[in-house]
Amino acid sequence: MSDKPWAGRFTQPTDQFVEEFTASISFDQRLYRYDIRGSIAHARMLARQGIIGQDEAERIVFGLNEILEEIEAGKFTFSVSLEDIHMNIEKRLIDKIGPVGGKLHTARSRNDQVALDIRLYLRDEIDAIVGFLEKLQTALVDQAEANLDVIMPGYTHLQTAQPVLFAHHMLAYFEMFSRDSERMREIRRRLNRLPLGAGALAGTTFPIDREWVAEQLGFDGVTRNSLDSVSDRDFAIEFCAAASILMMHLSRLSEELILWSSADFDFIELSDAFCTGSSIMPQKKNPDVPELVRGKTGRVYGNLVSLLTLMKSLPLAYNKDMQEDKEPLFDTLDTVKGSLKIFADMIAEMKVKADRMRRAAARGFSTATDVADYCVRKGLPFRQAHEVVGKTVRYCIEQGKDIPELSLDEFRQFSELIDEDIYDFVTLEASVDARKATGGTAKEAVAREIARARQQLSG
């Protein structure tokens, strides 16, 4: 006789390759803890409602707890012929406690069971991701605070634009990751509804108490439509969308770290622990970790597109196609968690080369806008001021001079409005500190944001 719980209506065994092809146990076994937790709550509810006996529920719960221990101790043998985690556990339960184990699946289907398991699992994983994000954000704020005086070139088009504080640059990423964290928490809130009780698709004939199970499992309520409960995976898709945005942010930071570690920029040094060497060029120290995270961003985008494509046009309700939801989701989770963890440690250990950043900030006429703003304050319309400073910069290029090196006479060739006090405006510090409004790069504005970030992290 077949070991399959559904073998009753079949006369022939499953083709062996089909068995392997249709099985999900190789990847859905990671849901075991959530499958058992859901089953325990379900069994207790069945007894409370008088659908099974109290003693029967106790035996079921006892058996399930033993199975949990077996799996955790690595003593459980997963079987491909039992297809998935749900049937592997149910079969083992029946082997252990006898036919009463077969009562567990009353008023339930694998369709609502798997919808429950993924939600329980993803909920915990989102909490872990929010925790990893906080660690990375703390490392960014620590770097900002430790280097509050460091000035670097700010870029647009990757051309020197205006000087900014390195701390301001770090806090830009803090803001991005704050929004990522918010997105994750919103998705968690939306998915936190119990789908169990939907049965295969239409609900169940038994007098179950879904609200009680929801409460036992920490859900905020129950789903409202059985067809929807077993057939949508929008929560997994929106998680992958938020994960893609998060990875996009990480890929931009990666790109900057890679540029900054090059000999040409030389703004930072990553710890040896996060780099590797070359098998041929002895001098090389390659920023493999940020490069890989930049690369892994593509695979997370790919997972999002896989899920969207998987679900596109599927008729209601459950379709076996949906078993394919797990690998893209699991791969996304592993990739995002790994990337965040490694980034938090790497940023914490990153060395900042203040002198190199400062020297680069002084190049490229980064205080030209400050000269234009100066002329505007002396009464010149901004467009004319722009023209004046443009000519000044051209003169500097021809003379091989920097803006602060010009004599007052040289400045005045371009505008009579320029006086001795111009030199108070063209230093890097003056340029940075003039931008005091909320969100600007002035030291006092950045210090305020550091304090606010700390408060956010501790709140």
Kindly list the residues in this chain that would bind ligand ARG in the complex (CB under 6 A): 24, 28, 84, 110-111, 114, 318, 320, 322-323
Rank residues 322 and 450 by Cβ distance to ligand ARG and give the closer one. Answer: 322
**H or E, element range at 352:** strand 351-352
Structure tokens at 335: 């990739």
Rank residues 24 and 226 by Cβ distance to ligand ARG and give the closer one. Answer: 24
Q: Which residue has the tokens 């006429």?
A: 365
Smallest distance, ligand ARG to C-beta of residue 110, A:
4
Smallest distance, ligand ARG to C-beta of residue 113, A:
7
Contact 241, 301 (CB under 8 A): no
Smallest distance, ligand ARG to C-beta of residue 181, A:
29
**Bridge partners of residue 268, in order along the sequence:** 352
Strand residue runs (E) in 106-231: 151-156, 159-165
Smallest distance, ligand ARG to C-beta of residue 72, A:
22
CA-closest candidate to residue 163, choices 442, 363, 449, 428: 428
Structure tokens at 134: 């906080």
**H or E, element range at 221:** none
CA distances from 248 to 140, 251, 296 (A): 17, 5, 10
User: In a 10 Å sphere around its CB, with 0-12 CB exposed, 13-18 middle and 19+ buried, how is residue 78 labelled?
Assistant: middle
CA-closest candidate to residue 64, choices 28, 101, 31: 101
Rank residues 76 and 365 by Cβ distance to ligand ARG and give the closer one. Answer: 76
Rank residues 36 and 114 by Cβ distance to ligand ARG and give the closer one. Answer: 114
Rank residues 24 and 366 by Cβ distance to ligand ARG and give the closer one. Answer: 24
Smallest distance, ligand ARG to C-beta of residue 358, A:
57
Rank residues 57 and 87 by Cβ distance to ligand ARG and give the closer one. Answer: 87
CA-closest candidate to residue 339, choices 173, 136, 125: 136
Smallest distance, ligand ARG to C-beta of residue 11, A:
20
Measured CA angle at 428 (ends 431, 371), to 5 deg: 50
Smallest distance, ligand ARG to C-beta of residue 114, A:
4
Q: Which amino acid is at 200?
A: A
Structure tokens at 442: 């002035």
Contact 152, 361 (CB under 8 A): yes
Helix, strand, coil shares of the chain, percent, nearest 5, are: 65, 5, 30
DSSP 319: -
Note if the bond before 317 is cis, omega within 30 degrees. yes
Rank residues 113 and 261 by Cβ distance to ligand ARG and give the closer one. Answer: 113
**Bridge partners of residue 276, in order along the sequence:** 286
Catalytic residue list:
157, 278
